[in-house]
Amino acid sequence: MIRGIADNLLPVARKQIKEVSKQKRYEAMFEVDKEDKEKFKIKGIYESYTAAFGMVVNQSGFQSAFAIYNEKGTNSDGDKKLITNLLYDMLRDMDFVRGYNQVIDENDYDLCKENIFNAQHNHDQYELFFKEASIALKRAIRTFEIVKK
């Protein structure tokens, strides 16, 4: 059986989820156990946002989907921007992201992501990797406990 990009990214996505569950800027995505900080649950709205990302890409196009998800919404259930941040965090250490963003402060996610998505060169490669990363992220999220409200 030939493994696809999403299959290869699945362990990366699981590791990234575990890492960001401890970060303040992602705290809205998780319910962390007060006694054991290693234990957490993912809020169901973020599973839904991740699952829908691929459909939005297919229906609206990659840049439109990114724009929809990257805008800080008024939805009280959750912030879709966390999904694009998480996807970017998953891929930023890979050569095609790191090489493109060498001169940009790695903490400036909006600028980094905007530069990636507006790049004319290798656009198809970026789109493919972000689609595959979103599939891996969707699968990875479903391996953790999810809180439905």
Who contacts 57 (Cβ-Cβ below 8 Å, separation ≥6)?
A: 65, 127, 131, 134
Could you tell me the sign of the dihedral formed by the alpha carbons of 97, 103, 109, 113, in that order?
negative
Taking the C-alpha atoms of residue 18 and residue 81, their distance in angstroms, rounded to an integer, is 18
In a domain, 149, yes or no: no
Statement: residue 123 has pLDDT above 90: no
Total domain count, the chain:
1
Mean pLDDT value across the chain: 78
Share of the chain above pLDDT 70, in %: 72
Statement: residue 1 has pLDDT above 80: no
> Whose structure tokens read 């992602």?
26
Domain of 31, in residue numbers: 5-144
In a domain, 9, yes or no: yes
Per-residue pLDDT of 69-86, as tens digits, reads 887 665 667 888 899 888
Statement: residue 122 has pLDDT above 70: no
Per-residue pLDDT of 33-80, as tens digits, reads 888 878 999 999 999 999 999 889 889 887 788 888 887 665 667 888
Share of the chain above pLDDT 90, in %: 24
Q: What is the pLDDT of residue 100?
A: 44
Q: What is the pLDDT of residue 74?
A: 57
In a domain, 45, yes or no: yes
pTM to 2 decimal places: 0.79
Supply the CATH number for residue 37's domain: 1.10.520
Statement: residue 125 has pLDDT above 90: no
Q: For the chain, how big is the Rg over CA atoms in Å?
A: 15
Q: What is the pLDDT of residue 136?
A: 92
In a domain, 29, yes or no: yes
In a domain, 139, yes or no: yes
